[in-house]
Structure 1
Amino acid sequence: MLALMKKLTRSPLGKLVLMIVVVGMALWGVDQIFNQVRSGLGANIVSAGTRGLDPADLDFRVETVLRNVNATAERPMSKSEALEQGLIDQIIEVEKARITRLGYGESIGISPSPEAVVEEMNTIPAFQNPLTGELDAAIFRDRIAQLGMTPAQFERQLQDDILIRALSRAAGSAVSAPNVLSNIQANYLGETREVAWFFYDTSNAPAPAAPTDAEVRAYYDEHIERLKQPERRALDVLRMSTDDFTGKVEVTDQEVATVYEATKSERFAAPDQRTYAELMFPSRDAARTAFGLLAGGADPNSVTGANSIQLRTARSDEISDPALQEAMFGPGKQSGAMFGPREVNGQWMVARLISVQPGAVKPLEEVAEEIRLGLARERAQLLFSTALETLDEALSAGHDLNQIAEDTGIPVFSIAPIDQNGMTENGERFTMLADAPEALPQAFRLPENEISSRFDVSGSVVLVTPRRVVPAATPEFDVIKGRVREMIVAERAANAAQAAVEALTGQIRSGALTLEAAAAQAGAEVDRLPEPVSRANAQSMGIPGPLMQATFNNPAGSVISLPTGDGSVFAVLKVLSVTPPTAEALASIGTASSADVTNSLVSDLEAAVDDEIRRAVKVRENAAAVAAYKRTITAAQ
């Protein structure tokens, strides 16, 4: 939670977007309201201490996030799509984390002062007067109105930001790594090692003897429990989503053309280019004078006293200065828009927007299918909502899965018997329920032909019924004797390979063979790293994880064998030397080591604070209200 909240509070403008997270209005039944009051929730979706999130705030955050997402998206996202893609659930979790921290902060008496709020507002460039660089009340009111907020709401948002930031920083603000720990870390990171290795292919060794029929039978009798097949169940699965209904709706060419004409400039136009005059002046006063002349309509070339006057033509993404980008490309900016004075590398910049060249619009033929699919999905969502009501009614009436499938028009998938891990007897994995992890365990608890709970996952609704139960049993010998024979052969081959590599490494450890002589005996060559390796540079040198662990987890002189991806090939590695870091090396990595230890301590302390917050504040959630809100989204489409 701490890491999540820290991400939300890194910049003032980022907070305006990231802290306004998706949640929505709920329809409150009388019985639900009674239950909420009785549980202490009142009208809140989620509550912690004295802080809560009510339905109006929830819907405001939904609208704001979608507006921000759609401002840069090639294809606008609707509320129903946000729900279908799981965005609503993700943001509810973020809001719950935020409310928890705010409730805890207020419970221990943390409350940002009005002065702190004003100071925070003064740091937000979007509210500053371009001439004075100071907070401008008129600009402030205009900008927050664009966000759909009142001044009081925005000030409360800033108070929350400051409180959350104080909690996030409090854990690590005074933490400093002790020298003893920093020195240990520096020695750990700076130690260098030399290693050499070769690859030993044991498949060239003599093959183990094939098992006799008597040995196969004896193995079967000895491992009869190990050979037992687990209980498996043949399942019927009904999975319904919006996609099941897109082929059942009709979108005419006229409707596609109408949507195209209404949205082509926002959805299907390339970024426009804009030409602006950029004037650089030696002083702020000269720049202010020029600003007034240009704002009054003066030709940029007629302005005197400028160090330089340049006409620039660019797209929005080609301007690196965010403030200049906003002034030239912001919403509603037209020819004559002004920027500055702004100090840039010791000079003062003033800019005026000269002209706007709209981007090329994609032809209807190129985007018609995208529009058609979008309209079809919107209409399919209505059919999906209707089918969902039919499904719920059928469940309430006690219909079986086949009847529900007939009522909704959705086919049932019949699955061959699988075990609780989703594996068939032949070792094939069934993945249809991978995104509903509770469905398969529940299917193994149900009697035959009983329907599971309804699982809502990834924009789909899933029902499962065990069609047939195959009890756990060991197959008869004659049925699996071929498989048993293969198991014996595989075990003997693996044991022989391990014995061969252990014999070879034993000779190296005893001194009977050098590493080079062992490699020659194995028909391989010894490889070495081009230079000694340390923990600090091992990853950049591309050393695989297992080889890296063997290199640093064993003392000098150790000989280690490591299996590779091929079961018959082993890497035989020897640690040639271990060298402590020099004084110069310790000095060069001391700062980084201290930072690593400090970050680790801060992380541990933040985790402890997080645990304390969860224990200290009881979070109340209203699952019924969240479900009701989601229904309003599907009903509104």
Structure 2
Amino acid sequence: MLQVFRKFFHSSVGVFAALGLIVMLAMAFAAGDVSNMMSSGSITGGDRVAKVGGNTIGTAQLTKQMQQAVEITRQQQPGVTMKSFLAEGGLDLVLDQMIDGEAQMAFGRKVGIVAGKRLIDSELAKIPAFQGAGGKFDQNAYLSVLAQRQMNDADVRDSFARDLVSRQLLAPAQFGAALPQSAVMQYAALLKEHRAGSAAMLPSSAFAPKGLPTQAEVSAWYNSHKAAYTVPERRVIRYARFDESVIKQSSVPSDAEVAARFKANAAQYGASETRKVSQVIVISESMAKDIAAAVAKGESLEAAAKAKGLSVASLGSVSKADLTIKSSAAVAEAAYAAKAGATAGPVKGALGWALVRVDAIDAKPARTLEQVKGEITAALTEEKRKQALAALTEKVNDDFGKGGALSDTAKELGLTMAETPLLVAKTPAGMGLPAELASILPAAFGMDHEGQPQISELVAGKSFVIFDVTKIIPAAPAPLDQISAQVMADIQLEKGSVAARAAAMKLLAAGKKGGDLAAEVAKLGVALPPVQQMNLGREEIMSRGGQIPPAVALFFGMAPGTTKLIPIAGNKGFMAVQLKAITPGAVAANDPLIGQVKGELNNLAAREQGESLRRAIRTEVKVERNESTIKTVTSTLAGGN
């Protein structure tokens, strides 16, 4: 599972997330870092969630790893909360992996399977974040990343040791897992089978009574189903947008300010030179001299280097200072002493003997104040504009914090306010609220009451909106007189659903006696959609991926000669599905499907063998879970007492 860890390291966020994952969370490994979280003791202790052999896992450690698990999950799914993570079984997953990690380490020690320093070193060297410019492990880079995460070498190595021991234990158990050829052929033939039958739809609307419900029925239904007709809370938002145009003071800098900026950045406007340089690095001085001699005789640097099995690298346009950093002071001196097109060297560099060619020289003369006045003026004007706008937004925010009214601020800034129609918290962008203001909707619905103005940034550093809520209508059932038509339609649908269920049960009973579905549907005497004939093969269904209708999935789980029912979502009726016959599939000995099936089944067998060993190790080491303490941790994490 180190692959997960390595994937994290390919992003800037991943460096830190994965480091946390190494030590604090077992999700990226076959086992978590619990060695420093263990202590001997009885399982009856209220602060212990599990006992693994002679060690225990404490509540504080489980809580910490759960928090880390949620943080890491949020990087892929930002909306994840601790409650939702718990609801999906996250605590059992994390705890199980902590237990497995400790159990496998204990079992490994017992049978003599360990991870030595050199093996751990090789794994650390594979992590891109720990590598230097040459792609090799860099101790300084490694220690720097650990320091940023406030971790130490021992913690990281211990976590890698756990993963390596786990792999050494579980991987061999999966080798050679294979099912008999007869089972492979049987499964492959199953994928080739075809099924014939039919399906009938019994929509509730077709069975609904013709007459309208009475007023008493409507009132009774409405009163018992008010929750279904509840209109969510609605709010009216008042807002006004503004940008830098509201700033009254001038942003144009004075001549003195321009002159001061010029003086402060004199180096930026002074003479400068960069050179486009290519170089070849040679291990020995003698070989470097051979290449230089070939170039002196008219060969290109590329050709001369290629003859020695080397290649020329372009360093691009670099200043003398940058070249000194990239190579060495001697190389930089040589390159900047040569003329355009000339090759200098060999010169001793940091990695060997260097030959450098000056491909081009870009020399820029010093610029006077008059020459750069426009450039500096534009930069200062932009800075002043940003500063003035930032000061203005800060003042507005302070005014609102002190109880200032939205209307007063709008008047002061000369803004025209607008109001939205009634909106709900999930109003789609552009439906009553301009799309560019969609970001203020959550804030508006988070206000405790009307008249709590806020300011929000629309375009970073450029435009803003001030807003508040002028009306709040709490969630409540819609008045009956406004939705009476909907209520009557729902009553009719419910009556139709009851009748449709009765008709469906008739079809089911007839199917058990061998009745043909189409003929039995005709006996119902109700105008229904035509019965659909179904003639499908498993290969066709598999080609659809996960997009398989429920009726089709049911069709392929039935026995021949049977009829089954499936409800239509939304109380809209039922579908009756009848399977008449199954035609077994025929598989040729050279069918490519056999190889595919064999690979899938063998992979499943391998995973099952590894899982069996994992369970066996738990049994051997002896694992006990303290369910009452686990329940307490779950309640605490979920926000309970």
Q: Same fold (TM over 0.5)?
A: no
What is the TM-score with the length of structure 1 in the denominator?
Answer: 0.44
Alignment TM-score, normalising by the size of structure 2:
0.44
Which has the higher Rg, Structure 1 or Structure 2?
Answer: 2
